[in-house]
Each structure stands twice: as structure tokens, then as C-alpha cells.
Amino acid sequence: MLELDNIHAHYGLSHVLQGVSLTINAGEVVTLVGRNGVGKTTVIKTIAGWVKPTSGSIRFGGTELGGLNSDRICRIGIGIVPEDRRIFPGLSVEENLKLGFLQCPRRPAAESKRILEQAYERFPRLKERRPQMGTTLSGGEQQMLAIARVLIGAPRLLLIDEPTEGLAPIIVDEIFDILEGLRNEGIPILLVEQNVHRALDISSRFYALERGQVIMQGDAASAGDRAALMEAIAV
């Protein structure tokens, strides 16, 4: 579905990504791991069009993404759940969710209503908080809302950046249950997550980054590959 080939990206004079190549196949969860500051979030933002690659190729279902803006990439079918969640605090849960409809502006009203109810079935806690303002939600609830809002747009690929950062252990369990459910539904995901062991448990494959380069890749189910990964990133 997605192929990055020798991607380079800069922030000003800082050369953040230095030839990153990776692939994501239909229906699989791929985890991108590494220490803080090695370029994981920049990979996510570059795919989504928030950062423009300075060279290399990003292809999604045969379409070159490198020259497209973030709005166009979103409408092609790539949804992003950023690290900061970007919940609108002055809007209710339902109003935040309905912003996801902007990804599919020509969807019939009846279909939109069905998809909204489907989101509440998948996230019952959000249904309970339906009229509440975004600012009143806990961190875990905001993360659920960020994921649900992206799913409203029926993305073909999800980019999820640090979904459990700063959350209590019991909420971390809930978020991973949600991610596992999405995997079981066949929704492909590129996941950036510091909780490496939990992330690998729901992943098919992994890539490890160091100083803006892929230093290894492997099978998430392989004990040998996992051991080599832990040694490489010193987790």
C-alpha cells in the first residue's frame, strides 16, 4: 500500500531523515521504533504532507505523494492521529467527531449518520461523553476521540504517533485494545510508540530508526528479531 524510497527531509539546515525506506502492506500493522529525536515523528509528518521531503519517493497505492499538500493526501485515504491529538477544546465530542466528515465531503447524509453511530459503537465511552466539551475529557478520552475522528473519514491507512504517551496503565491497555481491534478489522497502521513490547505484540513487522536512518527491520513475531531490536535501541 505504501512505499517510502530513500526519503530525505530537513527542518531548515537540520537533515532529519537521511534516506528512509520502508513499506506497509495491506492489512498489516508496522511499528516504527527508536530513541527520542531520531526522526520517527518526522516520518509520519512527511507521509502526511506536513513536512515536504527534499528528495526520494513516497508512493501510496500507485500515487506519488511527494508533491501533494496534506489536504489532498488526507482525501486520498491517509489518516493521521498526531502526538498532540489536536482536539478542539471548545467543541463537543460530537462536534469534534463531525470534523472527520470533512475528509469525505460528498458522502450522503444517511451514510454519515450511520458512520457516526458506528464510531459510538466502537468507542462507547465517547457516546457517554457526547455533549461534553473537548477540554473536559481525560487524556485517554482525548486519544480515543482523536482516533475515532480520523476513522470517521474511512482512511485506507492510519498513521498513529505515540498514542499512549502520558496515559495511565489502565488507559494504555484500552488504547492497545482499540489498536488491536483496528488490526483485526484489516486497517493498515504505521505506529510510532515508545511502549515497544506492547506495540510489537500487535504488529506484523517493525523498523528501527537511528539518526534519521533505518538501522534494522524485522518480524515482530520473531523472538530473535525482537531480541536484536532491543539490543539495538537499548530498551
The pLDDT tens digits for 121-168 are 889 989 999 999 988 998 889 999 999 999 988 889 999 999 998 888
CATH fold group of domain 2-85+156-233: Rossmann fold (3.40.50)
Cell of 45: 509528518
Residues 6+ apart with CB under 8 A from 164: 143, 171, 172, 175, 176, 193, 194, 195, 198
End-to-end CA distance of the chain: 30
Q: How many residues comprise the chain?
A: 235
The pLDDT tens digits for 76-127 are 889 999 988 888 888 999 999 988 887 766 777 888 888 888 899 889 989 9
pTM strictly above 0.85: yes
Whether 134 contacts 93, CB under 8 Å: yes
Q: What are the sequence ranges of the domains in the chain?
A: 2-85+156-233
